[in-house]
Amino acid sequence: MKRTVFAYPYVVWMLIFILAPMLMIGYYAFTSEGAFTMENVVGALTNEMYMQVLLRSVWIALKATVICLLLGYPIAYLLSNMKKSTASLLSVLFIVPMWMNFLLRTYAWQVLLSPSGLLNGLLEVLGLPTQQFLYTESAIMLGTVYNFLPFMILPIYTVLSKMDRSLIEASHDLGANSVTTFLKVIFPLSIPGVISGITMVFIPAITTFAISRLLGGGKFMLYGDLIENQFITLGMDAWGSGSALSFILLVLVLISMAIMRKAERDAGEEGGGKLW
């Protein structure tokens, strides 16, 4: 028996759950009552409200990615410099929340940030005026960063902890102090991890929905919410425009992935181990 047989269930899985939905998106995006049309896509691209939502999504995803990088890199760096046992214990702490459902975690933040929640309770105890935390853009940002931070930390941590320590010693040996060593050796060598971290945060962040609804109170609709809306609220009639929106997002994701790949290749050409 050929060993390729064992790949068949996977192929079937891919056909049903990946290829078929994509084809359906394509079908609904480019047809109207069975006939080919560009109407849906052109309509989605020329709708001013939709484009505003798209820009906001890109902007929030970019900001969240930058914040994740600024927070995640130092955490990954500290973890990689710890004793192996301490580091694996701490990285479990970062991973454990991911075992819980994403919606559940976001609901938890809703409770924490609410006017009568833990955070405002703390302010009251300190005698400070309570704040409107919930339903702000900052709340969406917090939720996004919180949910996707581990995806930034882990790839960077992996690259840093696999780095040959003697390279750092060699840099010190050649006269570089710790700051110079970081800038000239450690950071350049960790770029593959940074790029996959950015990819793994930016793409889910740009496609996310629910976070904006739960923590933004629907005031700040994102592209993911818009798509959800088309299908859930508007029903069958809006499948065409919903698919067109999905298709646009898909193209956007593919473009950003291509950019990341190119950035990784450029970094790879300057040496640097590849993560994938």
Partner 1 sequence: MAKHLIDLVDIRKSYGSEDALKRINLYIRDGEFLTLLGPSGCGKTTLLRLIAGFTMPTEGKVLIDGQDVSTIPPYKRRVNTVFQKYALFPHLNVHDNVAFGLKIQKLPKDEIEARVEEMLELVNLKGYGKRWVDELSGGQQQRVAIARALVNRPQVLLLDEPLGALDLKLRKGMQIELKRMQQRLGITFVFVTHDQEEALTMSDTIVVMNEGTIQQIGTPTDIYNEPKNVFVAKFIGESNILPGTMKQDFLVNFHGRDFDCVDKGFRKNEPVDVVIRPEDIDFVSPEKGMFRGTVKSVLFMGVHYEFRVECGEVALTVHSTDYAEPGSEVGIEIVPDAIHIMHKSDAPEAAAPVETEDIPDDAADDDRIIEN
Contacts with partner 1, residue ranges (CB under 8 A): 164, 166-167, 169-177, 180, 184-185, 188-189, 270-273
Angle between helix axes 187-207 and 137-162 (nearest 10 degrees) is 140
C-beta of 3 vs 165, nearer to partner 1: 165
C-beta of 92 vs 179, nearer to partner 1: 179
| Four-residue CA torsion sign, 260, 266, 270, 274 | positive
- What gap in Å lies between CA 152 and CA 71, rounded to an integer? 9
Nearest alpha-carbon partner for 110 in 73, 77, 142 = 142
State the nearest-atom distance from the C-beta of 175 to partner 1, in Å.
4
Residue 261 contacts residue 50 (beta carbons within 8 Å): no
State the nearest-atom distance from the C-beta of 115 to partner 1, in Å.
51
Name the one residue in this structure whose structure tokens are 């950019």.
259
C-beta of 124 vs 169, nearer to partner 1: 169
- What gap in Å lies between CA 146 and CA 178, rounded to an integer? 30
Name the one residue in this structure whose structure tokens are 């068949």.
8
Calculated CA dihedral for residues 151, 252, 239, 16, nearest 10 degrees: -60
State the nearest-atom distance from the C-beta of 78 to partner 1, in Å.
20
Q: Which residues contact 237 (CB under 8 A, 6 or more apart)?
A: none
State the nearest-atom distance from the C-beta of 23 to partner 1, in Å.
42
C-beta of 40 vs 171, nearer to partner 1: 171
State the nearest-atom distance from the C-beta of 172 to partner 1, in Å.
4
C-beta of 46 vs 177, nearer to partner 1: 177
State the nearest-atom distance from the C-beta of 198 to partner 1, in Å.
18
C-beta of 124 vs 164, nearer to partner 1: 164
- ∠94-97-99 over CA atoms, to 5°? 115
Alpha-carbon distances, residue 1 vs 5, 13, 32, 272 (angstroms): 8, 21, 47, 41
